[in-house]
Structure 1
Amino acid sequence: MTHTAETTETAKPAAGTTENPAAPDPSRRKWIALAVVLLAAFLDNVDSTIVTVALPSIQEDLGADYATAQWTLAGYALAFAVFLITGGRLGDIFGRKKLFITGVIGFTLASVVCGVAATPGVLVGGRLAQGVMAALMVPQVMSVIMTTFDQKEWVVAFSMMGAVLGLGGVSGPLLGGVLTDLDVMGLGWRAVFLINIPFGVIAVALALWCLPESKSEQAPKLDVPGVALITVAALGLMFPLVQGREQGWPVWMFVMMGAALLLLVPFALYQRRRHEKDGSALIPPTLFKHRSFTAGVFVVMLAFSGITSFFLVLTYQMQLGLGWSAIRTALVTVAFPIGITATFQIAWRKGTANGRAFVALGTSIMAVGTLLMILLTHTQGQDLTWYQVAGAELVVGLGMGLCSPILTNVVLGDVPQQDAGAGSGVVNALIQFGTATGIAVVGVIFFSLSGSGGGSRAERFSDATAVTLWYNVGVFALVALLSPLLPGRKDGAAEKSGSGADAPAGAAADRLVPDPA
């Protein structure tokens, strides 16, 4: 997750929040503090990218079904999405250092649970716990940077953050492939989780020593009922999508999905009432007074539903369909973040001036890259080469690099400055929810097709890949068509979003780059 999606409604001083951090430390300690929080962001980014390439091995070793594979990815993103905004508020209320350390400790312990899991249920439970702990840990990264450094130093700090997250996007898949195939210390796939332990210990030790404490004197209250309602609704929608195929789609699952959607009505009414009462709604309803924001969050969810699911399909196609090793799969997948890197700076520098055009162009290129993958699968079948798959992934990455860095800022284009922090937190949470939903929907299509029909397993996986990827083509094309609904060019848009909004946009994109690896 991803990146990373760390903006909360109170992370920015510009949002009207009174902060009481220690004055920026002129010594080297604050730069060590930056390294500590970036280590945590790196952990989160790598952990969301390292797992996908190991999924086939995990499934085989645990005797798990395809639903477990979906939960392993979607469960992390779903838990992260539900608790992201609350994690930021907890830091504002109780202290960002405390919440950061709590999140890192919890994330590390959850990694241990995943690494020693003997059953699919324990693994999924560990992944859900990782997502919750990441939601406590990651929001503090942005807040710590903005309360520890002065504005002149933000550019350097955020540039370093972008570099670290980019490194995580590239190294995650490679680590996943290497650790799985080399069977380090006989651990196999378990090493992709247990590798977090030493980094977690180092992060906690350094945070205790050098991380400054800060909190908000005007932080909004926790919206516990709101979190409960949205959690029930999200699980009610996600559970049938993931488990439906395994259980034969009983009627009660469709009833559950319908009830989950209906639950959004009382959630929205409660959010309005709470916002009017004390302004502490989990999702401020005033954001949706801006039609461009409402359209924008839908576009964002749609776009990210196509990214991770694209790589979920390709990972299984490469390993189970084509018989490639985890290392080979990982090396091929690196073409995607390379593509992002090639165009990222273009969008970052020029995208603010005409964000809608960059979103339309980027997603159109992503659709073309996915079409190329479908064509290659149809024409080459089992003779697909690594450079053909890498070429298609490179094209998708080039498109992603053009739209992802500025997508959050574009969506926030019409949102008033005082609401920009809250809006950015909502957008980043919905990015994670879109990711989880895409994995669930595409998993239903792909695993149903690959598990039925005649022919060899390799033929079934190739056919399933060629059919399923049309979902991703449709998603990317639809986002391009909907891009005119996003806010147009506005003078000073970049300044309004500020560093706090800029960073998460790119971070969220980088973070999700290889969730699919």
Structure 2
Amino acid sequence: MAGTDAAPADSATTGPVDRAAWVALAGCLLGLFMQMLDTTIVNIALPDLTTDLRASTSEQLLVLSVYTLAFACTLLTAATLGGRLGRRRVFVTAILAFTVSSLLCGVSQGPVELIVFRGAQGVSAALMSAQTLALIAALFPKARHGLVFGIYGAVAGLAAMLGPVVGGVLVTSDVLGWGWRTIFFVNFPLGVIACGLAWRRLPQLREQPPPRLDLRGMALSTAGLFFLLYPLAVGREQGWPPRLWVMMGASAVLLVLFVVLERRLLARGGAPLLRMDLFGSRRFTVGLSLSLLFFSVFAAFFFTVSISAQFGLGYSPLRTGLLALPFAVGGVLGSVLSPGVVDRIGSARTLCAGALVLGAGLAWVGLTLQPISGTMSIPAVIAPLVVGGIGTGLFVAPLQTAILSDTSEANIGSASGCVPTVQQIGASIGLAVVSLFFFGQVATQAHSAVPATRAELVADLQNTAVEPLFRAPMADRFADCARNQLTSAHPDRPAPGCDGDPSAQSGMAADLIGKANGQLQEAGRAVAARSFVGAFQTTLWALAAMCAAIAVLTLALGSRPGPNKPE
């Protein structure tokens, strides 16, 4: 199989699959696992990383966003390069590059170095990801695509879900004193194994004759996606200055020009970066829309869980990461069940059921929360998180099959770059929208949380050495600081002049804070918990409603006979 320039001869048949194909699939999936793991694993390690490297706010933001930006903006170009240079060659080279760039991230001595190497990671991940679907399609006959694409979807979802768990375990374990650096070093053994499994077992899949590079399409798509995704990544942090709106407007123009150019190039018989004939398939178009919306919800959920747990409830990185474990367990169960469900009711109804089950799980988590007391019971959320994970597994596993069901050998390469691009765009949009909504809800919840906490603080101060004359002013000062912080663009950080550290004060202020430091800290935790848990609950219900909308959209896929029975 190795070294061929096209798909195997039985790619459209039901012939047997040899062991080498399964080994090669394992290599592809391990590469996929690394890519998706690194989309979420850094979030958990960010506080330790920031302290160690002394990263500024803008540098922290770039550490998180540059990977996704480089990933999404390179995918379409990477798919074309794979067809021209050979998909196996590009895939294996990308694994090596990803492994090396991960090691360089781990040994970075400053934030700028880390940002550069994270960008290199993103480009390498795109070069890998853009080949994976085309390689898997070539490895297996058409009749097996439902199974192998289901495994692909399950691994992608599981890796993203496990990112916080793995990150929390690695940071807390502090292996060999490496701390946060282990989240990057862990990619070294994974990359070596993936190369060993994939090398010489994958088809080369080089287009003959090699097409001319669509340089204009590369430039327009890369610039258009960057001008769209960069403002979404940094907009809230920077307060949405006019230049970001200008970039988004320019993005719309560039992407429209890209579509026009690609249509003309295809009509002339050329090799466009994105084959627009793919969108002639209703299942492809609707499937991409489902992917966009679902990964928006998926990214939004994990963002709100992480931010609520760490900044609202004060959880450690490990405890925050472990919150994703029940969801991941449910994801495995849903992925295992998915092929049987598809066989019984068809892929469209399975996707509908998955979206509804996920929505039910998210709504159930919301019902367990107690915003008034600012608490979240871990035992109470385990079952609904498992249910949400089952819904995710049911949905993600058959999604790739539904999207790619109408593709052919002529356009599978273009689809292989388009599908993950849309997923990354969806995740970016989801994060941008949910951050605005969630922090808006934090500010709304603060209007009731601050007065309630202030009243409790006044009562608690009666049991301190603070003189009665100063108790009410101290509570008022606390309320002003809490309100200013929770209604600001950065409710996870103290407002200016409100640090609350006795060592930062002097004279009478330091003396008063020292006498009531324990009560002030407890009040700070309480008001943050109430505001963040309340915002988390409202956001979960909004995401559950989105899942219901996704379930309705799945019906637009239409019916199609499955391998064993009709849909």
Q: TM-score normalized by structure 2?
A: 0.72
Pairing 1:90-101 to 2, within 5 Å after superposition: 90-101=81-92
2:370 pairs with 1:396: no
The residue correspondences of 1:174-193 to structure 2 (distance < 5 A) are 174-193=165-184
Instruction: Indicate whether 1:461 and 2:453 are aligned.
Output: no
CA offsets per residue over residues 440-473 of structure 1, 9 Å max, x none?
3323444564753396433443244234445423
Given that 2:279 and 2:285 are in contact with CA atoms closer than 8 Å, whether structure 1 keeps it comes out as yes
- Is the CA contact (8 Å cut-off) linking 2:11 and 2:138 kept in structure 1? no
- State yes or no: 1:482 paired with 2:553: yes
Q: Which amino acid counterpart does residue 439 of structure 1 have in structure 2?
A: L
- Could you tell me how far apart the structure 2 residues matched to 1:357 and 1:284 are? 28
State whether residues 180 and 326 of structure 1, in contact with CA within 8 Å, keep that contact through their aligned partners in structure 2: yes
Q: CA-to-partner distance for each residue in 1:75-116, whole Å, 9 max, x for gaps?
A: 433433332343233233223343123212221222133223
Cα separation, 2, equivalents of 1:295 and 1:388: 36
Give the CA deviation at 1:434. Answer: 0.9
Q: CA deviation at 1:397?
A: 0.9
Contact 1:114 1:122 in 2 (8 A): yes
Note if contact 2:291-2:399 (Cα within 8 Å) is conserved in structure 1. Answer: yes
Match of 1:507 in 2: none
Q: Residue type of the partner of 1:133?
A: S
Distance 2:139 2:287 in 1: 32
> 1: CA distance between counterparts of 2:166 and 2:44?
9
Q: Give the direction of change, closer, same or farther, for the CA distance of 1:292–1:199 in structure 2 (3 Å limit).
A: closer
**Distance apart, 1:384 and its partner CA:** 1.3
AA aligned opposite 2:349: A
Which residue of 2 is the match for residue 452 of structure 1? 486
Bigger shift: residues 367-376 or 115-124: 115-124
| CA pair 494-132 structure 1, distance change in 2 beyond 3 A | farther
Q: What residue is the counterpart of 1:501 in the other structure?
A: none
User: Equivalences for 1:44-83 in 2 at 5 Å?
Assistant: 44-64=35-55, 71-83=62-74
Confirm or deny that 1:363 pairs with 2:355. yes
1:322 matched residue in structure 2: 313
- Aligned match of 1:502: none
Q: Which moved more, 1:219-228 or 1:68-77?
A: 68-77
Rounded Cα–Cα distance in structure 1 between residues aligned with 2:340 and 2:191: 34
Contact 2:152 2:397 in 1 (8 A): no
Contact 2:102–2:121 (8 Å) recurs in 1 = yes
Per the alignment, in what secondary structure is the counterpart of residue 274 of structure 2? coil
Partner Cα distance (2:228, 2:10) in 1? 33
Q: CA offset at residue 401 of structure 1?
A: 1.8
Mapped to 2, the partners of 1:100 and 1:369 lie a distance apart of 37
Query: Counterpart of 2:48 in structure 1: which amino acid?
Result: S
Alpha-carbon distance between aligned partners in 1 of 2:158 and 2:288, rounded to the nearest angstrom: 27
> What code does the residue aligned with 1:361 have?
A
**In the alignment, structure 1 residue 407 sits paired with structure 2 residue 399:** yes
Structure 2 contact 83–210 (Cα < 8 Å) conserved: yes
Of residues 534, 539, 543, the one that matches 1:472 is 543
2:264 is the alignment partner of 1:273 = yes
CA deviation string 1:40-71 (max 9, x = no partner): 33322433343333334334544556666665
SS at match of 1:51: helix
2:290 is aligned to: 299
Range with greater deviation from structure 2 (32-41 or 95-104): 32-41
Aligned mates of 1:333, 1:138 — CA distance in 2: 24
Amino acid at match of 1:332: L
Q: Which residue of 1 aligns with 2:429?
A: 437
* Shift, 1:157, TM fit: 7.6
In structure 1, distance between residues paired with 2:408 and 2:195: 37
**Post-superposition shift, 1:261?**
1.7
Cα gap change, 1:484/1:200 in structure 2, threshold over 3 Å: closer, same or farther? closer
Count of equivalent residues = 478
CA–CA distance in 2 between the matches of 1:281 and 1:77? 24
- Aligned-partner residue type, residue 127 of structure 2: L
Distance 1:79 1:141 in 2: 18
Give me the whole-angstrom Cα distance separating, in 1, the residues matched to 2:213 and 2:294. 30
Q: Aligned pair in 2 of structure 1 residues 158, 431: CA closer, same or farther (>3 Å)?
A: closer
Q: 1:135 to 1:377 in 2, by over 3 A?
A: same
In the other structure, the counterpart of 1:134 is 125
Q: Secondary structure at the match of 2:486?
A: coil
**Structure 1 residues 89 and 273, CA gap change in structure 2 (3 angstroms):** same
**1:491 matched to 2:561:** yes
1:40 paired to 2:31: yes
Question: Cα offset for 1:405?
Answer: 1.5
1:162, distance to aligned residue in structure 2 (A): 7.5
CA contact (8 A) 1:233 1:261 kept: yes
Equivalence for 1:288:
279
| Residue correspondence of structure 1 range 111-260 to structure 2 within 5 A | 111-142=102-133, 168=159, 172-201=163-192, 203-204=194-195, 215-218=206-209, 220-260=211-251
Consecutive unaligned residues in structure 2, runs of 5 or more: 444-484, 492-523
Specify the SS of the correspondent of 2:239.
Answer: coil
**Alpha carbons of structure 1 residues 70 and 373: separation in structure 2 relative to 1, 3 Å:** farther
User: Residue 159 and residue 287 in structure 1: after superposition, are their counterparts in 2 closer, same or farther (change >3 A)?
Assistant: closer
Amino acid at match of 2:179: G
Match for 2:486: what amino acid? S
**What is the Cα-based RMSD across aligned positions, in Å?**
3.9
* 1:297-316 alpha-carbon deviations (Å, 9 max, x no partner): 22220111110221111012
Could you tell me how far 1:399 is from its partner in structure 2? 1.3
Q: Matched residue of 1:246: which SS? A: helix
Distance 2:280 2:309 in 1: 45
8 Å CA contact 1:413, 1:490 repeated in 2: no
C-alpha spacing 1:207/1:70, structure 2 compared with 1 (3 Å): same
Greater relative CO (CA pairs within 8 A, separation 6+): 1
For residue 232 of structure 1, report the CA deviation from its aligned partner: 1.5
Distance 1:408 1:125, change over 3 A: same
CA deviation vs aligned residue, 1:394-444 (integer Å, no higher than 9, x gap): 221121122222223334556678645644542332112211221233234
**124 and 434 in structure 1: CA distance in 2 versus 1, 3 angstrom threshold:** farther
Q: Is the 8 A contact 1:369 1:396 kept in 2?
A: yes
- CA separation of 1:230/1:418 partners in 2, compared to 1, >3 Å: closer, same or farther? closer
Structure 1 residue matching 2:236: 3-state secondary structure: coil
Q: Distance between the aligned counterparts of 2:279 and 2:164, measured in 1?
A: 37
Tell me the SS of whatever aligns to 1:52: helix
Q: Does the C-alpha gap of structure 1 residues 292 and 204 become closer, same or farther in structure 2, counting only changes over 3 Å?
A: closer
Structure 2: distance between partners of 1:133 and 1:148: 22
Q: What is the letter of the counterpart of residue 393 of structure 1?
A: L
Bigger mean CA deviation after superposition, 455-464 or 123-132:
455-464
* Counterpart for residue 372 of structure 1: 364
Gaps of at least 5 residues in structure 1 are 1-9, 18-23, 496-517
Partner of residue 385, structure 1: 377
Alignment partners' CA distance in 1, 2:546 and 2:86? 40
